[in-house]
């Protein structure tokens, strides 16, 4: 089941920035990014509420989230909304996507790698180094 959830998250992760790019391409990002993000994140919240309610109807065990899970979800959602808002603002201000997207992607990559090193004391093996290098190469190739 977790694989289906991860693939769903992977799929939906790219749709929101793509929609902001469409708004920017039509010259609407500066006016409609807030409304677009509100609708996008509201739809996600309603989907999660529906899944939660339906799982409680069809399951005997409680699937209620724990307070720490709710706090982490709120923190991640806030960070996501903030990042998407600034992405929309940058595109709405006329910055080209070939500049905005690589900076946003590289920033996320460096934050994740840095947090792994500094907060969790992760040791990066050869596969991890290869993954980080491939991520950087893909960002460079996408910006060309």
Instruction: Inform me whether the pLDDT recorded for 38 exceeds 90.
Output: yes
Number of separate domains in the chain = 2
Could you tell me if 121 and 142 lie in one domain? yes
Q: Give CA–CA dist 94/47, Å, rounded.
A: 33
CA neighbor of 105 nearest in space, from 143, 72, 54: 143
- Asked if residue 118 and residue 53 are part of one domain, the reply reads no
Q: What is the share, in percent, of the chain residues with pLDDT greater than 70?
A: 94
Same domain, 14 and 54: yes
Number of H helices, E strands in the chain: 5, 0
User: Is the predicted pLDDT of residue 62 greater than 70, yes or no?
Assistant: no
Question: pTM here?
Answer: 0.73
For residue range 95-114, list pLDDT tens digits in order.
Answer: 988 888 888 888 888 888 88
pLDDT higher than threshold 80 for residue 73: yes
């Amino acid at each position: 089941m977790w694989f289906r959830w991860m693939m769903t998250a992977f799929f939906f992760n790219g749709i929101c920035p793509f929609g902001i790019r469409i708004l920017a391409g039509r010259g609407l990002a500066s006016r409609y990014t807030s409304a677009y993000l509100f609708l996008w994140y509201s739809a996600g919240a309603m989907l999660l509420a529906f899944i939660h309610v339906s799982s409680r109807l069809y399951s005997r065990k409680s699937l209620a989230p724990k307070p720490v899970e709710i706090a982490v979800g709120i923190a991640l959602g806030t960070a996501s909304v903030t990042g998407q808002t600034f992405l929309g603002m940058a595109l709405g201000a006329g910055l080209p996507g070939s500049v905005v997207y690589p900076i946003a992607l590289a920033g996320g990559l460096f934050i994740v790698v840095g947090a792994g090193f500094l907060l969790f004391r992760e040791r990066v093996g050869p596969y991890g180094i290869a993954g980080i290098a491939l991520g950087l190469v893909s960002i460079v190739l996408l910006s060309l």
